[in-house]
Structure 1
């Protein structure tokens, strides 16, 4: 018999358990984890350093990093946010640091610091951690009024309060659906784009700031090419700007990961087959770049186009796009035609690439989908349909872009659920 059972031995589950125990040490708490190990995502996050959260301290700005859950998280972030997380870890001997891009890590640069902090706290407060214990069934308890009974492989357990923090678990979603909750069908978020194209072949490892647009299907299905001089720039399905990384399999980096998060449902509907338009020089339009090149044609007349690198992009990318424009290595600026200048300008500002599939961004694999937000009370994170059942983390339909924001959602939901559980038991 437990006061609280927590389903899920991840970030949200451990954080909630510790918050409950610190507020009421007499509580009998158990964490049920389906796997052999706990805190798996904490261990691999940030390349093994654990990107704990992000240095955005204004809740109004913080919510802008959540494609799903933005509106619902505003109130919770006013209650428990980035500063509270930093204080939590630093008070427990895990100092944190803010990096230039805003991501926050342990000073140790090791996720083990976070894991040890949690495991030490569970030992201190006698919180039971039951590994290899997947929950198979949840039903009303016959022994506790308004309590719950959970069944694992070979045993039944009873509790007054149940917190579900199982992340993207299809089996838990199935259980909750059978109990009356609506589940938004899950689709992948935070993934990279698979692209086979000669223009980015052999130059993997290059990173540069770029603007990326996902083109509507009708735009590239049309028989009339967008290469026409009179072509009007059509609306895109999605847009993103930021660092873009060329990889062995295609494109990655923050610009791509943001697109995959905000466009999770749209890109799933396209079956991950679509075209993107990359502007490698976001400060230029095609026409303004043409004008620049016409000026360079006058000033650098005797130099070859290939060796000049007239704009601020990596040399190997410049060489590749000059070649793709049909410009030969020996062609000088003095001899270049207007059509060739136009072709090079388009390659640099409207470079169309075909995406054929996705690859998992393994460090922060995230799923969009889960328990419908309308069925959760965000003042307590309690179910509106099932009394004394609470939620935290990715089990609900909230997800974020990369950078520590998904952990922040987990910490905040876990904290508020924990406070609600403690307050109703005093």
Structure 2
């Protein structure tokens, strides 16, 4: 069973002892109290690598104590300073992995067992014997979604070896990357967006092989999945060359890694999970929209027209992280505009000058728009079929409104 996945804390028979072991008794009383508070949410995101694993631990009440680590199985690793700098050796057998963490005066043994529910972790020490057992619930996630590249390791070198392109072409290709995976009635579609402006698209059913030039050359492909969070693509070229890509999803990331390739070059690409806001959305209903519009400084005739109108807006990726935004509104018309997350854009809507700055979030996007002297903020949450926006004018709490949209 793979270590990869997202887990959240469920229970522990000795929570104080658990934290003291993890931090080797280096926590202050205030920090310990915050970590043990009932409203402290503890989460772990784990990704299994070719020869080890990566882990990211987060504490909602004490984010300054969050930490990340990466270990290679069977190889001694020095832990982060937050954990006291102990030396750890981790091994994995089946669904059980064991870490022995050595400090000058004590050795802690963490024995973790994976299951379909999640993970249990038993801690003992050479000094105190049994300390605690904690249970972690697996957060059910899917490899479907929209993901934007955060980093990669040797993906450009892989492209040079695999696609027989130049180093400059490969670097341009990997200057930006995004991945979108959708599913409908058992049929999946995967789109790779690349830094050279090109898109690679493939449709597949799990467990059904097919022929396609998805990788840039004719080959037979087979997509399989051992869990909703895992995707494996095995490809065989006409000359017999084989390659295997393994994808692992968590609540925050998706990691594609090359498990094997005929040319021997391996790579990995780490993407952050973003809400899939792309597409056309039609307004279904709204609440307090009229007061929001008045707060933006619109005249009453325009307010009433917008309240009654059920227009649509479209948000489409056109390449290299640039999006085209348009609307069907007749009351508040806008010329289609190109925008990019994290970059301010200026435009006119209904004859009014505006500027906007937005960015993607894990479930959608957040943004700020300046309309004349007024500033509005919004949070857009995109679901599979429905989405909703919460927005208000800064300094005018009576303007807070909600709008519900459906994918067209």
Indicate the structure with greater helix content: 1
Q: Name the structure where strand makes up a greater proportion of residues.
A: 2
* TM-score, normalised relative to structure 1: 0.23
Q: Which has the higher contact order (CA 8 A, sep 6+)?
A: 1
TM-score of the two chains, using structure 2 as the length reference: 0.23
